Structure 1
Amino acid sequence: MKPIDRPQRPFFGSGPTAKRPGWSLSALEGAMLGRSHRDSVAKARINDVIVRSRKLLGIPDDYRLGILPASDTGAFEAAMWSMLGARGTDLLAWESFGKEWVTDATKQLKLKDVRTHGADYGALPDLGAVDFARDVVFTWNGTTSGVRVPDGTWIADDREGLTLCDATSAVFAMDLPWSKLDVATWSWQKVLGGEAQHGMLALSPRAVARLESYQPSWPLPKIFRLTKGGKLIEGIFKGETINTPSMLAVEDALDGLTWAEQVGGLKGLIARSEANLEAIAGWVEETAWVDFLAADPATRSCTSICLKIADLTVASFTDEDQQKFVKDMASLLAKEKVAFDIAGYRDAPPGLRIWGGATVDVEDMRALLPWLTWAFTEIRSRVDVDAS
């Protein structure tokens, strides 16, 4: 039967993600609209995002933290374009965005000394095979596969190369070992539910040293330039952005940070995300037709939670028919206004992708789960009718 209880906020898509509980447009009334971002007051608001993010995340004082254009993609590509090529590179790819960084390194930058460590969706590469005498490029959390690295113990403390980590769906939901990460990037539209188009870039002293000692052989677009005359452009890390930021998005980011501070800071955010994963894990354990895409519990993401259809009949369909089955489920749930945008990523195996980041209330997650079974049963019955 159709469930009675409904999620109060049916926003389970993986990006842009749900706004924080209680959010409304009134949260943005203080935005400095119509003002230059170079004005001292506006610049102070931009820099406040940097200062408060650093404090909330526990980023070391000797790391630089700045705001770059073009979301996480822009921030991470700025790092790749500016730093890679100084030594050999190991690339880890087990989902769509990791594979994009492989493409950037091999097809766009055309790096000559590259090793790729890959794995299928749902698994991790052999982390023990990574050579930390080389630069290492990886995602902390596979946003399209629901697979995260369990910790940073595999990253060498005495590494010679740099570690470049795309951490966009991990930051604010997972405890990152900053001393292991020379470069880390993320976007505003993930765990805190901010508005899009702005990326954050954290640099260790070792990364800064690379920037100031290495000149890549390829030209750098203006929005990727982090140095001038062989020295780091310090203003980027003090609120002087490379291009014009949206002051409306800045105000929204500050609102998200205020909420994060109110719910217990990083520990509170992590607890909220893990509670959502725990709710789904309990339901999966009791539900025969569904399973996690990530087989190892230690690698299951608490933000982009990816599920596959375990029902034997549906699992025997072609990928195309499975994709249609999932899309039909997602469309039915959207029509009922109980879940929006939860079909798996277009390049991923057929399945559901449910955002469990900190802005999602666990009560809404629990209310969603019976609806998933209802939608599965409805679409599955149509398949049986068609077959007959």
Structure 2
Amino acid sequence: MPENLTPPTSKPQVVNFSSGPCAKRPGWSVSVLENAYLGRSHRSEAGKAKLKEVIDLSKKILDVPADYHLGIVPASDTGAVEMALWSLLGKLPLDILAWESFGQEWVTDVVNQLQLPDTRVLQAPYGSLPDFGQVDFSHDVVFLWNGTTSGVRVSNADWIPANRTGLTICDATSAVFAMDIPWDKLDVVTYSWQKVMGGEAQHGVLVLSPRAVERLETYQPPRPLPKIFRLTKKGKFNAAIFQGDTINTPSMLCVEDALDGLKWSERIGGRTGLISRSEANLAAMSEWVEKTSWVDFLAEKPETRSCTSICLKVVDEWFTTLSPEKQTECAKKVAKLLANKEVAYDIASYRAAPPGLRIWGGATVETADLKALFPWLDWAYATVKTEMAS
């Protein structure tokens, strides 16, 4: 890499590359919220109709099977995952997979909070995946489809048998709408609007298969469940939650914003269009990384590289000789310099991840903006390296 300390002249049109909340869809403005259903009860006929519209359109775009249930729940993807863990686990032994920080959070929950005794933790370091061959599907299985803080994704579901005994519970918040989700292999899927669709925060989505519903109706967890976790009523599955009768009060502004994103996705080809945009962004990033000597993907295998949370590590020889503290300082300086230049916001790697950069490549990001960013990344690293080495 030439040590060019002259900043580029052309900037990305949209400089929001955060991994959550993510960039709004192209062309978004606050005017899209003008039809939000405000000042009235969300439990009114019209309020529930708006919520049901989000549910129905989400199922349509994602090709969710007709016998699966999709509902809006509290507390973002975290809330959706917690509802599943606390409501469903404990009947069978558990295998839980973790290869980055959010997966480790769910390990902490089941080991330290739920204190499930028959739990096996299958782990891998940042950049890798656990050995799927070790998973026992007579157990319940909890895993992420995409590691938001490592940029490592599951490439397919071939390792999940159709005739499994346990439930598969998948945190797919940075994968849904950007990657193919094999619904027949998954019994619980969670996500939030704030990731691939660039929606506003605080609301989660919970998708349940018939097998998950059967578990809810035949298994009573040996623990008290807070109101916002309760998916049954008098021992029966509470289907009303999945028809728009939410457990708590949703923001109808956020609902309107989610509807806008879903309708935009229909205009660009639905799920296929969304996936194509995300994969195009990964392809552009791959082309730049291939010809750039100072950086590489954190994901070790090309087939596991995320097309949404694209995580990069610095491999420059000078950088590798630095102490871990100095490496972290260098990466943060690069991200801060680009933010100060109003070129890229929020691209520092996650605090628990190896020092580097994390650049969102989901469907709401334009490939042209990524390509405009690449020369700035080269410039920022060269500038920080020169400063720190002097």
* Structure 1 length-normalised TM: 0.99
The separation in 1 between residues aligned to 2:359 and 2:203, in whole angstroms, is 23
Matched, 1:322 2:327: yes
Tell me the equivalent position of 1:195: 200
**Residues 11-26 of structure 1: pairs in structure 2 closer than 5 A:** 11-26=16-31
CA displacement, residues 69-109 of structure 1 (integer Å, 9 cap, x when unaligned): 00000001000000000000000000000000000000000
Partner of residue 335 from structure 1, selected from 327, 340, 364: 340
Residue type matched to 2:329 in 1? Answer: K
Partner of residue 361 from structure 2, selected from 321, 337, 356: 356
Tell me the equivalent position of 1:172: 177
**Residues 1-388 of structure 1: pairs in structure 2 closer than 5 A:** 1-385=6-390
Alpha-carbon offset, residue 65 of structure 1: 0.7
Alpha-carbon offset, residue 281 of structure 1: 0.4
Secondary structure of the residue aligned to 2:70 is strand
TM superposition outliers: structure 1 runs of 4+ over 3 Å: none
Task: Give unpaired runs (5+ residues) of structure 2.
Answer: 1-5
The separation in 2 between residues aligned to 1:334 and 1:362, in whole angstroms, is 19
Residue type matched to 1:9 in 2? Answer: V
Aligned length: 385
Residue type matched to 1:380 in 2? Answer: K
Residue type matched to 1:214 in 2? Answer: Y
Residue type matched to 1:364 in 2? Answer: D
The separation in 1 between residues aligned to 2:155 and 2:133, in whole angstroms, is 13
The separation in 2 between residues aligned to 1:234 and 1:62, in whole angstroms, is 12
The separation in 2 between residues aligned to 1:153 and 1:166, in whole angstroms, is 18
Percent identity between the aligned chains?
63
Q: CA RMSD in A?
A: 0.5
The separation in 1 between residues aligned to 2:364 and 2:224, in whole angstroms, is 40
Alpha-carbon offset, residue 376 of structure 1: 0.2
The separation in 2 between residues aligned to 1:380 and 1:238, in whole angstroms, is 55
Residue type matched to 1:102 in 2? Answer: V
Secondary structure of the residue aligned to 1:91 is strand
The separation in 2 between residues aligned to 1:151 and 1:316, in whole angstroms, is 37
Secondary structure of the residue aligned to 2:121 is strand
Alpha-carbon offset, residue 234 of structure 1: 1.0
Residue type matched to 1:174 in 2? Answer: M
The separation in 1 between residues aligned to 2:179 and 2:271, in whole angstroms, is 8
Alpha-carbon offset, residue 5 of structure 1: 1.3
Alpha-carbon offset, residue 362 of structure 1: 0.3
Task: Give unpaired runs (5+ residues) of structure 1.
Answer: none
The separation in 2 between residues aligned to 1:113 and 1:250, in whole angstroms, is 39
Secondary structure of the residue aligned to 1:55 is helix
Secondary structure of the residue aligned to 1:277 is helix
Alpha-carbon offset, residue 295 of structure 1: 1.2
Alpha-carbon offset, residue 340 of structure 1: 0.1
CA displacement, residues 256-306 of structure 1 (integer Å, 9 cap, x when unaligned): 001000111101000000011111100000000000000100000000000
* Structure 2 length-normalised TM: 0.98
